[in-house]
Amino acid sequence: MRFPSSRRFWAVSLGHGANDMFMSMRSVVLTYMSAYVLPMSSQQIGLAASLVELTGAISQPFFGRLADKTGGRLVGAGGVAWTTVFMLTGFVVGMVTGQFWLMAIPMALAALGSGAFHPVGSMVAADVDPMRAGRNAALFFMCGQLGLAIGPALAGLLLNNAHTSLNALYGPALGHLGPRLIEQGSVLPLLILAVVSVPAVIWMFLALPTRAAHTVAAPSRPVAAAPSQPRLTLPFVLVGLAIAFRSLAHLSTVNFLPYMFQLKGWSPAQYGAMISIFWVASGIAGVFFGSLGDRYDPRKVILFSLIGSVPAVFLIPDLNGLWAIAAAFVIGGMSGSHSLIVVLAQSLLPGSKGFASGLVLGFIFATGAVSNLIVGSLIDAFGAPMTFHLIAGVTLLTCGLWLFIPPLRRPQAQPLPVEAAEPVLTSSAS
C-alpha cells in the first residue's frame, strides 16, 4: 500500500489520535468514578456520554463550513487543545466536588473541540488524493481509532491503582450482613496525559494553511457542481436513518461494555484493555474496508460490516474472559466502515467537503448520543443481556437501508493541484 506523503495529512492524523484518545477514555473514567469517586447509575453514565456526543454533533456542521472558508488551521489545532483541557477539567471537577452536573458540563464543552477538529481533518484527508478518498479517509480514521484504543487502556492502567480496595479486603470477613464500605479514588493520574496533545497541536498549526493561503489555492481545486436541493433531500434522509440504526449497534455498544464487565468483576485495567482492543480492531479493519470501498460499492461494504457484527453483539453479554475479548474485537472490526459514510456524504456535496463531513460526522455522534440514552435506560430496566439481544435484532432488520442510498459518484483521474501547491502553502503557513 502506498501511503500519502502529504505533511498536512499526517498532521491531522496525529491530531486525530490525540483528540480521540481523550474522547474515548470517558467510558472507562465514568465507570471508574461510579465505583470509587462519584456513584452513578448506567442511565447517568449514558446521559453524560450523550451530552458529550450531542455537543460535538451539533457543532460540527458549523465548524465544517468554517473550515471550507478558512482552511482550518486555527479550527483544527485549537479544537484538539480545547478537547484536552476541558475533558481533564471535567474529571477533576467531578472528583473535587462530587457533583454529577459540575463534572458533566466541562465534559460536554470538551466536545466542542472535537466538533471543530473532525471536519477539518476529514476535509484534508479526502483532498490528498480524490482517487483514493476511501483509503485515505480510512487511514485518517485509523489514526483516530488508535487514539480511541490508547485512551481507555492508558486510563485503565493509570487508574488501576488510584483507588482503595476496602470491600475486596474486608468484604469476606463482614459477610452478607456487613455494610458495604465506601471506596475512595482519584483521577489526578490522568493529568499526565495532557502532554500527548502538545506535539499534535503544534504540528497542525504549522502544517495547515492560513486563511490567506487557503483562499489563494481555492480556485485551483476542482469543484463539481452541487446537485439541486430536491435531489439531496431524500438521499440525506436515507443516510440519516441508516446512520441512526448503525450507531445503535456500534457507538452505544462500546460505551456500555465497561459498565457491563465491571459488574462481572473486571478491573479498570481489564475493561480498559477490552475497549482498546475494540478500537484497534476498528482502525485496522477500517483501512481494509476503505480500500474495498475504492474498488467496490461502499454501500455493500457497510452492509456486510453490519451483518458481521450481529452475532457478536448478541452473544457478548453472556461471555467472559477471552471469548468476551474476541467478541469485542469482532464488533470493533465491523465498526470500521464509517470512513466510507463520510466519503458517501462528500460525494453528495462535492463543493463543500468540510460542511458535508461535519454534517455526517455530527449526525453520527448525535445518533450515538440518543442511542446512549436509550440503551442506558433499557439496561436499567431489563438488564444488559436483553438489551444487547435487542440491539442485535434491530441491526439485522435495518441494515438493508444502506442499499437504498444513491451510489458513490467517483471522480475522474486528474492531477493533484493541492499536493502540487503544497510547498508554497507550507511556507506561507509556517
CATH of residue 265's domain is 1.20.1250.20
Region 354-377 average pLDDT: 79
Phi, psi of 115 (to 5 degrees): -65, -30
Measured at the CA of 21, the angle between CA 15 and CA 24, to 5 degrees, comes to 135
| Nearest Cα residue to 222 out of 350, 122, 123 | 350
User: Is the pLDDT confidence value at 416 over 60?
Assistant: no
Confidence of residue 417 (pLDDT cuts 50, 70, 90): very low
Please say whether the beta carbons of 408 and 184 come within 8 A: no
Domain-located, residue 245: yes
- Would you state the pLDDT for residue 84? 94
* Residues spanned by the domain of 159: 7-167+184-429
Confidence of residue 62 (pLDDT cuts 50, 70, 90): confident
Could you report the per-residue pLDDT of 225-273, keeping only the tens digit for each?
Answer: 444 443 456 767 787 888 888 887 777 788 788 888 888 888 878 888 8
Please say whether the beta carbons of 86 and 77 come within 8 A: no
Domain-located, residue 345: yes
Measured distance CA(19)–CA(429) in Å, rounded: 22
- Would you state the pLDDT for residue 356? 73
Domain-located, residue 119: yes
- Would you state the pLDDT for residue 133? 63
Q: Which residues contact 294 (CB under 8 A, 6 or more apart)?
A: 131, 132, 133, 134, 135
Domain-located, residue 418: yes
- Between 421 and 245, name the one with better pLDDT: 245
- Between 139 and 319, name the one with better pLDDT: 319
Average pLDDT value over all residues in the chain: 79
Domain-located, residue 174: no
Domain-located, residue 113: yes
Could you report the per-residue pLDDT of 286-305, keeping only the tens digit for each?
Answer: 888 877 877 888 888 888 88
Could you report the per-residue pLDDT of 74-84, keeping only the tens digit for each?
Answer: 888 899 999 99
Domain-located, residue 216: yes
Measured distance CA(90)–CA(55) in Å, rounded: 15
- Between 259 and 21, name the one with better pLDDT: 21
As for how many domains the chain has, the answer is: 1
Domain-located, residue 179: no
Please say whether the beta carbons of 114 and 83 come within 8 A: yes
Measured distance CA(125)–CA(134) in Å, rounded: 9
Question: Which percentage of the chain shows pLDDT scores above 70?
Answer: 80
Confidence of residue 167 (pLDDT cuts 50, 70, 90): low
User: Is the pLDDT confidence value at 85 over 60?
Assistant: yes
